[in-house]
Every structure is written in C-alpha cells, then in structure tokens.
Structure 1
Amino acid sequence: MNDALPIRLHYPAGQLLGDDLRALAGLVFALGLLLASDFAPLAVWICGPLALLFLLFGLRTLLMHVTEGRLEDSGLERRIGLSTWGAHRRMNWRDLEGLRLRYYATRRQRREGEGGYFQLTLRDPRGRMKFESTLAGFEDLIEAAVAAARHKGLSLDETTCDSLLHMGLDPRA
C-alpha cells in the first residue's frame, strides 16, 4: 500500500469517456427512433424504456465524474458533489462490517485475462459504499479495506477471495 496517506481517490475523466459516449449515443439513438416513429405504440414500448436505461446510465456516469474520495489510516471519506447538491459520507475502518469484491468481464475477457472491471462494496452500520476499479487509487483502497477486514476478523466470501487473488493479493495474508 502507498505509505503517503491521505490518498485522493477520483474517477479520471479519460476513464469515463467511453461510458459518456455510450450513454449519449444510446440516448440519441433511442430518442431518434422514438421521434422518427411519431410515437407509435410499439416504438414507445421499445424505445421509451431503452431511452430511460441510457439516461440512467448517463446519470450514473455523471455521478462518477463528481465523486471524490480520501483514503486515510482511520477510514475513508467520499464526497459526491455538484454545484447545487452534494453528499458526504465517512466510513471508519473500525466500523467496517463487510467487504465484497466482484470481477465483471465477458467470457472472452476472462479467457484472455484482459479487460473487465472490479467492483468493491464496503459496508458499515450506516450503509454501503461502492467503487469501481476505474477509480484512481483503487488498489490502495482495496489494500486498506482488506487490512481493516483482517484486523476485525471479518470473513471474506469465496468470490471475494478469488477476486483478490485475481488482483494479485492474498486474502489470507
């Protein structure tokens, strides 16, 4: 782990560009078809939910753009902020109740050993915090969270242990 704490955590804009473009292209495509069909009932049933799906995906990506974190010895702080709205959350390592790490990839990505992404879910009495591996500082966050889980004696499920091994970390050490 990086010994220079605190560490700033954020999603680099370049990492999110692909998701931005996919959300925009999907939304434009679905709305374009909907408008071109003159709101025919079948088009509304197909393109309406599709447009909503891409809109929600775009909002999720927007939230990642405005998410910042701070990793410290004592815990983790996350701030999601827009100019008119913001949410702040702190999780102390001593309150950690659960840690899950999942690897998501297509069958081809798994077979070739490239691609895919990890999703970390941390849980304490106040709720959950989720982070994806595109987060700058993700490896440091994983190491700190696993160290806190070990210190507390939390058991890790088999999928989390496999994902840690896939990242090159020994879950038992």
Structure 2
Amino acid sequence: MKKGFNILLILCAALVAISCSKTKSYTDMLKDEKKAIERLIDANDFEILDDFPKDSIFKENQFVKLENGIYLNIIDKGSSERAVQYKTKMLYRCKLHYILEVDTLVYENYGPHSNGTYPIPFTYGDYSNSNPYDPSYQWVSEGLQTPLQYVGDRARVKLIVPFKRGTYYDQSKGLPVYYEILEYIFEENL
C-alpha cells in the first residue's frame, strides 16, 4: 500500500513540475515585452521623446512615453470636444498588431470600406472586462483609452500599449500591442 502511494506521489510531483515549467512567469513576460517593444522601435526607427510636444504635433515617427508606460503619437487631434469619463459613448476603428514574436496583423477594421466590419463600442472610462464573452475582454483597455485626455472626436493616433495596460486578454497572455492607427468616434456625432 505504501509503495503504491509513494509511486502515485512521485508521479503527481513530476506532473506538477512538468506543467509548471511551461508557464511564463510575470518577470519573463515583462522581459519579453521589453525586447518586443525595443525591436518595434528599432525596426521602425521611432524616436521616443522625453516630453509631450508643446503644440501636440508629432512627426510621423515620434512617440512620447507617458507616465503609465504607453507610447503615444498623435496623427490628428480631432475636434476640440473631449470625452467625459463614464459618460461618453465611443466607437473605435483600428489596425493593430501583437508584437511579441513576429509583427503579425491581428485585427483591422480601419479603412474606406473596413471589409464590412463595425467599429468597436465602449464607454470612456470603462476598462477591460474579465468575462471572455464580453467584447471588452479582448477589445477595450486602459491603454486604448489613455489618449482621450489629449484628443477629441475623429482623432487618430498611434499607440504602443504594454500588456499591463492592455485588455484583460492581453494581460493574461502577456501581449503588448501596437496600434498602427486608431481612430476615435463619438457615438453622438455619427
């Protein structure tokens, strides 16, 4: 009896050791993210500014790193009307890439015809949801909403969003995201 129990105990310990080794630690995810962001910046010759430009006008390859770790480039500030947290209903269209391994286009609903896709709705200030059946689980985040304090309706920006500021899905997988273009649309102005 003891011999059978010891064998079972050894097998369980081996299974736990094997299964744990396949999971990345948070530290490993942060290291991988840092390398991926540096690779993206180098490959595209992005210039990282220390300060936000006084006139809010960025050159095509300039980004500012904000206090929360997000890299921002404003293409077009849009209207002077600003979103109000927890009140303004928004839509967005984008072209995004997950940049961890290879720059692979994951999602695009931006463009003249947008391939029959719809803009993604959200309320400014409501961040990612942990319910995988809720669209915000994979499509809405703090990082995506950060530029709204600087821009208005119909604004277009570029963003590099570290996974800890990404959607619940991005956070769970350790996936930083590059928004090649992101356009905000105030629902009331459609």
Query: TM-score, normalized by length of structure 1?
Result: 0.28
**More helix, by proportion:** 1
